[in-house]
Chains A and B, each alone.
Chain A
Amino acid sequence: GAVVSQHPSWVICKSGTSVKIECRSLDFQATTMFWYRQFPKQSLMLMATSNEGSKATYEQGVEKDKFLINHASLTLSTLTVTSAHPEDSSFYICSARPPRTGNPRLSKNIQYFGAGTRLSVL
Chain B
Amino acid sequence: AQKITQTQPGMFVQEKEAVTLDCTYDTSDQSYGLFWYKQPSSGEMIFLIYQGSYDEQNATEGRYSLNFQKARKSANLVISASQLGDSAMYFCAMRDTGGFKTIFGAGTRLFVKA
How many residues of chain A get a CB closer than 8 Å to chain B's CBs? 22
Complex Cα gap A62–B2 (Å): 19
Query: Which residues of B are found within 8 Å of A34, using beta-carbon distances?
Result: 100-102
Query: Which residues of A are found within 8 Å of B107, using beta-carbon distances?
Result: 42-43
Query: Which residues of B are found within 8 Å of A111, using beta-carbon distances?
Result: 35, 47, 93, 95, 102
A-B contact count (CB 8 A): 51
Complex Cα gap A46–B4 (Å): 14
Query: Which residues of B are found within 8 Å of A38, using beta-carbon distances?
Result: 43
Q: Which A40-54 residues sit within 8 Å CB-CB of chain B?
A: 42-44, 46, 49
Counting chain A CB atoms within 10 Å of each CB, which of B33, B37, B45, B95 scores highest?
A: B45
How many residues of chain B get a CB closer than 8 Å to chain A's CBs? 21
Say yes or no: B91 contacts A116, CB within 8 Å. no
CB distance from A35 to the nearest CB of B (A): 12
Cβ-neighbour of A43 out of B33, B52, B101, B104 (below 8 A): B104
Q: Which B40-71 residues sit within 8 Å CB-CB of chain A?
A: 42-45, 47, 50, 52
Known contacts being A43-B107, A44-B91, is A113 close to B45, with CB within 8 Å?
yes
Known contacts being A34-B102, A43-B107, A49-B100, is A115 close to B50, with CB within 8 Å?
no
CB distance from B63 to the nearest CB of A (A): 18
Q: Which B87-114 residues sit within 8 Å CB-CB of chain A?
A: 91, 93, 95, 100-107
* Residues of B participating in the A interface, judged by any CB pair closer than 8 Å: 33, 35, 37, 42-45, 47, 50, 52, 91, 93, 95, 100-107
